[in-house]
Structure 1
Amino acid sequence: MNLDPREIARYLGIRGKALDPQGTAWADQCQGELAQAVTPRHLGRRLPLTLFQGQSRDLDHHLRHCREGILYAVTLGPEADRLLRRWSAQSMAKAAVGQAVCAAWLDDLCAAYCATLEQDLAPGEYLTPPYSPGYGDWDLGAQPLVLDLLQAPKRLGLTLTAGGMLVPEKSVTALVGISDRKEEACGQKCMRCTKPDCPFRAGPAEVLRDP
């Protein structure tokens, strides 16, 4: 694991500045402990996008040139949650850095998984940036359907709390569209999210316009 310290800083809400020496030391410690204890897991499924049509105006716009997509889940597993609890008992500041490290690692894992998906695409097929429940107006209430379609409780041990949060906590579900337009694959992960005030935003928000 060799995470970009700028991404860790971004998840800590630090923009345009490097981590201080203590933060850097904690980030290195957390990465080392995660690498020793955690085995990430993932799964995915290619499916028709009619399963999600009408759930979200933003999602429909994001996938407007796609007929199929790949739904996937990535999790760091319960070991990461246990480490986060231990770090919280040691120092809340260290735990905050650990949270940022986990988020940055999940980003890298999702990007690596999508890169493997691209290898199996047919000529002329391109993956859109990922879109997750909770982005834009795609409600977190979609998570039960997402987990059911992936059989994630059985295959990954990935479930939901009564409040709709993923367990293990350090997990991601997302949907990528399969487009026949090369330009659909361009841009960074935040390019289609319409929340301009997100403290973790990595780039400008797209302005959603009616066709």
Structure 2
Amino acid sequence: MELAYHAADRRTVLRYLGAAGWTPDEATTGLLDEAETLLQRAATPRGVWRTLPPRALDLRDAGTDLARHLQGCSGLVLMAVTMGSGADALIRHLELSDIALGAAVDATASAAMDGLCDDVEAEARRWARSQGLWLTGRYSPGYGDCPLTLQHDLCLALDTVRGLGLAVTPQHLLTPRKSVTAILGTADHPVTGARAGCGHCLLRETCAYRKRGMTCDD
């Protein structure tokens, strides 16, 4: 499904730029405004979600953190969202021609992706309410000890290549780069899931947030 682009939360953009809590000056505000305008022109946001029974996706090697997140759930909701190849092409071009603007567009795209994922999740939650079901939060490959290799099965189950133009590289990364996949659990009783902490995260050694004394939830 096509998604409506809406402006990225500026505080989130600054967080992605490593400047959380900073009040940008006039020049920086102008740079971020230009980044927003360019991204909106280039992006073609799309998303998809699908319900599955719990055994439809092989999660035996998906880590203990995801298993804990889905504890008590009787079904799954899979979702995928992408900003489209145009956003990636814009970022690659600017990385070679205007590094500062490229960084601003990259951070803006990451922040805008958060909002797009919220939109797709909201639609899934409306469906869940109509069925008398509850959903956990989103959990993506790469969180905790959940391996990135799960991306392949997630995208195959959602048929993202045909539906979104979203594929997985041999290195288990999504392309276009500004894309997200996630799993939510469904249950006939209230569930919230459990996000993994930093202690078991696969990215803990290279995480930019931890280097600044933050977490990805801050």
TM-score normalized with structure 1 length:
0.85
Deviation at 1:115, TM superposition (A): 0.8
Kept in 1, the 8 Å contact 2:135–2:191? The answer is: no
Q: Which whole-Å deviations, capped at 9, do the CAs of 1:89-121 have from their partners, x for residues lacking one?
A: 232222112111111111000001111111111
- Structure 2 runs not aligned, ≥5 long: 1-5
Deviation at 1:23, TM superposition (A): 3.0
Aligned pair partner of 2:119 in 112, 115, 118: 112
Aligned residues: 199
Counterparts of 1:123 and 1:146, CA distance in 2: 23
Counterparts of 2:64 and 2:92, CA distance in 1: 37
Residue 141 (structure 2) aligns with: 133
Kept in 2, the 8 Å contact 1:73–1:173? The answer is: yes
Residue 57 (structure 1) aligns with: 64
Secondary structure of the structure 2 residue equivalent to 1:129: coil
One-letter amino acid of the counterpart of residue 192, structure 1? R
Secondary structure of the structure 2 residue equivalent to 1:70: strand
In the alignment, does 2:48 pair up with 1:43? yes
TM-score normalized with structure 2 length:
0.83
Residue 155 (structure 2) aligns with: 147
One-letter amino acid of the counterpart of residue 47, structure 1? L
Deviation at 1:15, TM superposition (A): 2.8
Moved more, 192-201 or 28-37: 192-201
Secondary structure of the structure 2 residue equivalent to 1:93: helix
CA 1:145–1:183: 2 relative to 1, 3 Å: closer
Kept in 1, the 8 Å contact 2:49–2:120? The answer is: no
Residue 96 (structure 2) aligns with: 89
Identical columns (%): 35
Taking only aligned residues, the RMSD between alpha carbons, in angstroms, comes to 2.1
Deviation at 1:202, TM superposition (A): 4.5
Residue 179 (structure 1) aligns with: 187
Deviation at 1:24, TM superposition (A): 2.3
Aligned pair partner of 1:193 in 193, 196, 206: 196
Secondary structure of the structure 2 residue equivalent to 1:24: helix
